[in-house]
Amino acid sequence: MKIQDVKNRFEIIGNSPMLNLALETAIKVAPTEMSVLINGESGVGKENFSKIIHALSKRKLGPFIALNCGAIPEGTIDSELFGHEKGSFTGAHENRKGYFETVNGGTIFLDEIGEMPLATQSRLLRVLETGEFIKVGASKVQKTDVRIIAATNKELLELTSRGRFREDLYYRMSTVPIKVPSLRDRGLDAALLFRKFSQDFGELYHTPPIQLEDAARDILLGYRWPGNIRQLKNIVEQLSVLEEDRLITAERLFNYLPKEYPTLPALMNNSDGMSERDIFYKVLFEMKKDITDLKQIVYGMLNGEAPPMMNNEQMGNMFNNGNNLPVVQASFSQSSFAQPIQQSMIIHQEAVEVKDEPKEQAISLEKHELELIKKVLDKFRGRRRKAARELGISERTLYRKIKQYGLE
C-alpha cells in the first residue's frame, strides 16, 4: 500500500521526510507478526500508528484495544490484562477475563509502557515469548494469540539502567522500532495541520475558518510545540471559538502560546547543513570579532590616531559580516561620524586617564564546546542519542564533533 493512500485513509496530514519514513516502516511491518515499539513525544499521534499497523495486518478483522499503562493503578493492572479468579484478592467477587483473553486473535496497544510495573513486565515477557499467561489467583496456564504494539515517550534504555524497565523485555519489544517525529521536526507540516484543524472547527462551530497573517505563520512554524499536534489542535480550537476576526495576527497568536516556552523562530533554511547550535556559535564568534574591531578603532582615536575611512556599505558589512543579520543603513560621512567622537575625547582626555587596552583575545568557542560535550557525555554515560538531545544537535553532528575533538 502506498504512503499517500495510508495518509488519505487515516487522515494523516504532512509531507516531512521523517513522517514518511515512520509511515513506510509501519506499512512494511504491518503484515508480519512482529512486536513493534513506537517511540515519540506526547501528542505526536503514536496511537494512530498502532491503528494503521492493525488495520493493514492479517488481524484486521480481529479486536483492537488501546490501553494506557500509566492510567491503570498498579494494584489492578495485572487483573486488567490477565484477568483474575473469584476471591483472589479483596473485591474479587467473581471471575474476570483479562484483555489477553478477550482480545485473542487481535491486537493490544500498550501506550506508555515505560510506566508498567516490573512484576507486570515479567508477565508480559512470558506472553511475548510463549503466548502463555496465568490469571491472578489461578494456577492454570492459558494460551493466547495476541499481537503487542507498545509505545513510549521515554528512553527505555535509560530506564533499564536505573532498574525501572526490564532489559530483556525492551529487546523483545523493540523488534521493529518506529520513531514518530515531533511537530517541531516536521518543517511546514505545522501550517498544513493548522489549515486542516481550522477547516474542521469552522464546520463544527458553523463559522468561517480562521487564517494566519504571514507574520503569524512564521511564528507558528518557528514555535517549539512542546505539546505537539495535541497542543496545536487545542490552540486552533480556542482561536476558532474566541476570535471574532478570522484573520489572526502575530500579536493575537502570541496571546495563545504559553509564555514559559520559547517562541523564537527556528532556523528553517539551512543550506550549509549546519545545526542551529553550530550557527549560533558561528554568529557569536563573528559578533565578538566585530566588537573587538570596533573597540580598537575607538582606542586608536583616543590616542590621536585617525579612524579608518569607511563608507556606508563598509559600516553595514562590519555589523552584518555576511550573517544575514538585519542591517541599518546609515547615511553619514566619515567626518560627521568621527568628529563628534574626537571632540568628546579631547574634552575629557585631561579628566580621564586612558590606558591602552591590549587586543582582546577572541573567545575560544571550540574550547567551550569541547568542555560542554564532555560534560553532557559524562552525564549520560556516553549515550550519544541522549547527549545529542540535551545539546540540541543531531546525533550525526555529535558524532562528527566527537571525532573532531578525539573523544572516541
- Matching residue, cell 512486536: 35
3-state secondary structure the chain: CCHHHHHHHHCCCCCCHHHHHHHHHHHHHCCCCCCEEEECCCCCCHHHHHHHHHHCCCCCCCCEEEEEHHHCCCCCHHHHHHEECCCCCCCCCCCEECHHHHCCCCEEEEECHHHCCHHHHHHHHHHHHHCEEECECCCCEEECCCEEEEEECCCHHHHHHCCCCCHHHHHHHCCEEEECCCHHHCCCHHHHHHHHHHHHHHHHHCCCCCEECHHHHHHHHHCCCCCHHHHHHHHHHHHHHHCCCCEECHHHHHCCCCCCCCCCCCCCCCCCCCCHHHHHHHHHHHHHHHHHHHHHHHHHHHCCCCCCCCCHHHHHHHHHCCCCCCCCCCCCCHHHHHHHHHHHHHHHHCCCCCCCCCCCCCCCHHHHHHHHHHHHHHHCCCCHHHHHHHHCCCHHHHHHHHHHCCCC
Q: What is the pLDDT of residue 286?
A: 63
- Assigned CATH for 365-404: 1.10.10
Whether pLDDT at 380 is above 80: yes
pLDDT category, 276, cuts 50, 70, 90? low
Average pLDDT over residues 350-368: 48
Give the lowest-confidence range in 6-10, 72-76, 376-380: 376-380
pLDDT tens for each residue of 136-149: 988 899 999 999 99
pLDDT category, 350, cuts 50, 70, 90? very low
Q: What is the pLDDT of residue 343?
A: 44
CA distance 166 to 124: 11
Q: Supply the pTM of this predicted model.
A: 0.63
Give the lowest-confidence range in 37-51, 84-98, 341-355: 341-355
Centre a 10 Å sphere on the Cβ of residue 342 and count the other Cβ atoms it contains: 15
Answer with the residue of higher pLDDT: 397 or 123: 123
Q: What is the pLDDT of residue 214?
A: 93
Alpha-carbon 360 to chain mean position: 39
Answer with the residue of higher pLDDT: 117 or 261: 117
pLDDT tens for each residue of 150-200: 999 999 999 999 999 999 999 998 888 999 999 999 999 999 999 999 999
Domain residue spans of the chain: 3-88+96-181, 184-254, 277-349, 365-404
CATH topology for 184-254 is Helicase, Ruva Protein; domain 3 (1.10.8)
Q: What is the pLDDT of residue 379?
A: 84
Q: For the CA atoms of 168, 171, 175, 179, what is the dihedral angle to 10 degrees? A: 140
CA distance 395 to 408: 14
Say which CATH architecture domain 3-88+96-181 belongs to. 3-Layer(aba) Sandwich (3.40)
- Fold match flag (3-88+96-181 vs 184-254): no
Whether the Cβ atoms of residue 30 and residue 74 lie closer than 8 Å to each other: no
Long-range pairs, 398-404, Cβ under 8 A, ≥24: 398/373, 401/369, 401/373, 402/373, 402/377
Q: What is the pLDDT of residue 89?
A: 82
CA distance 115 to 125: 15
Average pLDDT, the chain: 81
Whether pLDDT at 269 is above 50: no
pLDDT category, 261, cuts 50, 70, 90? very low
CA distance 186 to 381: 29
Q: What is the pLDDT of residue 403?
A: 80
pLDDT tens for each residue of 112-131: 999 999 999 999 999 999 99
CA distance 354 to 303: 9
Whether pLDDT at 314 is above 70: no
Answer with the residue of higher pLDDT: 179 or 350: 179
Q: What is the pLDDT of residue 39?
A: 95
Give the lowest-confidence range in 161-170, 175-184, 280-289, 368-377: 280-289
- Matching residue, cell 512564521: 218
Q: What is the pLDDT of residue 47?
A: 94
pLDDT category, 262, cuts 50, 70, 90? very low
Q: What is the pLDDT of residue 280?
A: 59
Whether pLDDT at 299 is above 70: no
Whether pLDDT at 365 is above 70: no
